[in-house]
Structure formats: C-alpha cells, structure tokens
Amino acid sequence: MASILIIDDERSIRKTLGEILTYEGYNIDEAADGEEGLKKFKEKKYDIVLCDIKMPKLDGIEFLEKAKESNPDVPILIISGHGNIETAVDAVKKGAYDYIAKPPDLNRLLITLRNAMDKTKLVAETKVLKRKISKVQEIIGESAPIKKIKDTIDKIAPTEARVLITGENGVGKELVARWIHEKSNRSSSVIVEVNCAAIPGELIESELFGHEKGSFTSAVKQRIGKFEQANGGTIFLDEIGDMSLNAQAKVLRALQEGKITRVGADRDINVDVRVIAATNKDLLAEVEHKNFRLDLYHRLGVIIVHVPSLNERAGDIPLLVEKFLENIAADYGQPKKNIDKKAVEALQQHYWSGNIRELRNVVERLIILSGKTITLEDVASYVLPNK
Ligand SMILES: Nc1ncnc2c1ncn2[C@@H]1O[C@H](COP(=O)(O)OP(=O)(O)OP(=O)(O)O)[C@@H](O)[C@H]1O
Ligand SMILES: [Mg+2]
C-alpha cells in the first residue's frame, strides 16, 4: 500500500484529504506545519507528499528545499490557496512534482497522485536496471579450465596486451572479453563492441573508422567510427574470423601504427585503444585457406585465451544450473524452483552444441514448463537430444 504524508496547517483540509485518500487505499500520515512535516519525512520513506504553501514555522517552499536535500526521489505535490498560484509555479521550478489549487478537485488529485506514483516506480526501476547492466555477469564454474581462465584474466587484464579469445558458440567468449576490460586500467572508460560478422563488407570500414560527410553516396553526415569511440578504452572485435580481407588490411594498419583515417578524410587520427578479438573459427585454418591474414593473426593473438566447450567441463553444470535457476527466478520476480538430482545428472549427460547459452535457455524453458520441482521426466520431455 502506498503511503502519503499530508502537510497542512488547516485541520479540516487534512481531515477531508485524509479520509478520501484512505478510502482510495492509501496509507496516510499528517503533519500540521512544515517543521513537523520535515521530521516525519526524514523518519519514514513516503511514496508521495502533499504540502500546503502558507504554514507556520517552516512554509511549503522551505519544506520543499529541505526535503529535496534529504531525499530527492520522493515527489512533492503542492496544494496552494487562491493567492499563492505564483508561489506554486515557483515551487514546481524548484523541483515540486506539480501543484493543485485549493479546494482540490478530487479527480484531478487522484490522477496526479497516480502519475506521481508511476514516476517514482519508473525512477526506482531505472536505478535497478542501471545497476544490473553495469555489472558484468560473474563467470560461474569451479572446474580446472574455468579456474585457469579466471587466473589468466587476472594476469593479462592490467597489461596492454592484445588478446584473442577462441572457442565454440556460446562458451562465454564475450564474457571473458568484458572481464578483461573490467579488470584493466581502462575500466573507467568504455568497451566498444563490434560484431564483424553482422556488418556487410562494404560498410565495415566506415563502421570501424568512421567517415566524412559526402565521402560516399549514403554518407549524408559525418560519422565517428568504433575505434574513435573506443579511444582510451577497449575495442572488442567479435567474430573477427568473418571480417573481409579488405577490412583486415585496414585493421592491421590501425594496430601497427595506432592511427586511423576516416573514410574520405585527408588526415590521420591517433587512437589509444586496447584490442580484444574473438572468434569461433580456427583462424590458422582460415590463414591456410587464404581467408585470414597471417600478419593480422600474429598482431591480434599476442595472448590467446581458449574457452573450452561446456562438454569438456560438465562438472560445472550443477553449479551453472543452480545459478541460472536463481537468476532467472529473480528476473521474473518469482521464487526459485528446485531441481531433482537425477534431472541435473541428465543435463550433465546431454551434449551441449550451443554450450552455456543453450544451457541457460534450457533452464529457462524448464522453469516455465515444469511444476514446483524440475524432475527427470521434465528433462526427458522438454530437453530434446541433439546428438
Ligand atoms: N561461465 C559462465 N558463467 C555464467 N554465465 C556464462 C558463463 N559463460 C557464458 N555465460 C553466459 O552464456 C551466454 C553466452 O556467452 P557469450 O555471449 O559470452 O558467448 P560467446 O562465446 O561470445 O558466444 P558466440 O560465439 O555465440 O558469440 C551469455 O548470456 C553469458 O552471460
Ligand atoms: Mg559472442
């Protein structure tokens, strides 16, 4: 139930508003002047405050200023008498959510309250989401290969060394890249990701290095490329094995000279960027087939981190399943489901061609389709053999 603090020196107003809003399902507290109001405001977290302007001790504007200092997120709705509209407008400029005139029109009051509540909720949700996306997902696993990868990350992250991350689809290459950045001296700056496979060959150069206005037909505006965006931070070249030979030559130059040129520009730009690349291809085989430049391979792969497939570390599956059950339940805002030991064993027997990404999807599917506890039968019916 949402709680509202009503601050007004007129007892009759407090009483009427209090009765109406209690009837509407709100929890009401009252204060007879700004000082008492501020005291209550600091003691308890209200969803919204209704506040008169003219009051003894501390008036509405003074209350607003002090309240905003103490908790800026709580919306304050000013109720103003006839002569005070200008002051009320002033209050809104100072951060009040809105004002309504006395005597308050009931419908308008209720709608304004509901809107204010929605706003509070959005502000709170945005904060949670921001925290969520800014935190890099933990690397889960206790197996020897995972321990080794975490060790390697700790060792190489603080250096400036280029890193090439290899491994099958969905093993966690991107996650490794994000942790290398996170633990590096560049972590306060950005990591810019480029999916080289998703960009058509003719656009990759402009995507990576930017272009000047008018440099080609569709270049209607100047564009800053990913290398420039990543200046001071890290660039993550994902699926590098899918990059055209033409683009490879340009990237090679950027790595050799630390310089880039926007398409259509006549001068170079210095960039300070750490490069991390990833691929699910066997790059040396690609070199053999003349699809990948050997010199670029050597430039990129100063350090090679190979992320093993999930089938090579099936011992991590129970821990991963447990964490995914927890995380997915939290995302859905539901209690965590349990899973039978036999069901986990069956998941360990499964061949995971899509690795961790596939395992996570399967756990999500099981959560949706199974009862309170996920059983061996659920695994048999909902996880189809794929080998
Ligand atoms: N060790 C791990 N612990 C927890 N989650 C993981 C782990 N490894 C991978 N994941 C999760 O699995 C998913 C796939 O990982 P990621 O995108 O890093 O794989 P990838 O190797 O880049 O795959 P692709 O080659 O398909 O691009 C992501 O949601 C990631 O957070
Ligand atoms: Mg990836």
pLDDT at position 387 over 60:
no
Q: Is 3 helix (H, G, I), strand (E, B) or coil?
A: strand
Tell me the average pLDDT of the chain.
91
pLDDT at position 134 over 80:
no
pLDDT tens by residue, 140-182: 999 999 999 999 999 999 999 999 999 999 999 999 999 999 9
pLDDT given for residue 132 in this prediction: 62
Could you tell me which residues come within 8 angstroms of residue 142 by beta carbon, excluding any fewer than 6 positions away? 315, 316, 319
What would the mean pLDDT of 237-246 be, rounded to a whole number? Answer: 93
pLDDT at position 302 over 60:
yes
Q: Of 387 and 13, which is predicted with more confidence? A: 13
Could you tell me which residues come within 8 angstroms of residue 101 by beta carbon, excluding any fewer than 6 positions away? 79, 80, 81, 82, 85, 88
Distances (CA, A) of 59 to 54, 277, 316: 5, 61, 62
pLDDT given for residue 133 in this prediction: 66
**How many A from CA of 260 to the centre of ligand 2?**
25
67-81, 212-226, 336-350: range with lowest mean pLDDT: 212-226
**CA of 354, closest atom in ligand 1:** 26
**How many A from CA of 18 to the centre of ligand 2?**
56
**CA of 278, closest atom in ligand 1:** 22
Give 38-41's long-range contacts (Cβ < 8 A, gap of 24+): 38/63, 38/66, 38/67, 38/70, 40/5, 41/5, 41/67, 41/70, 41/71, 41/74
Of all helices (H) and strands (E), which one includes residue 274? strand 274-279
Instruction: Quote the percentage of the chain above a pLDDT of 90.
Output: 67
**Residue 3, Cβ neighbours under 10 Å: how many?**
14
pLDDT tens by residue, 207-233: 999 998 887 877 778 888 999 999 999
- Taking alpha carbons only, the member of 241, 240, 307, 225 closest to residue 273 is 225
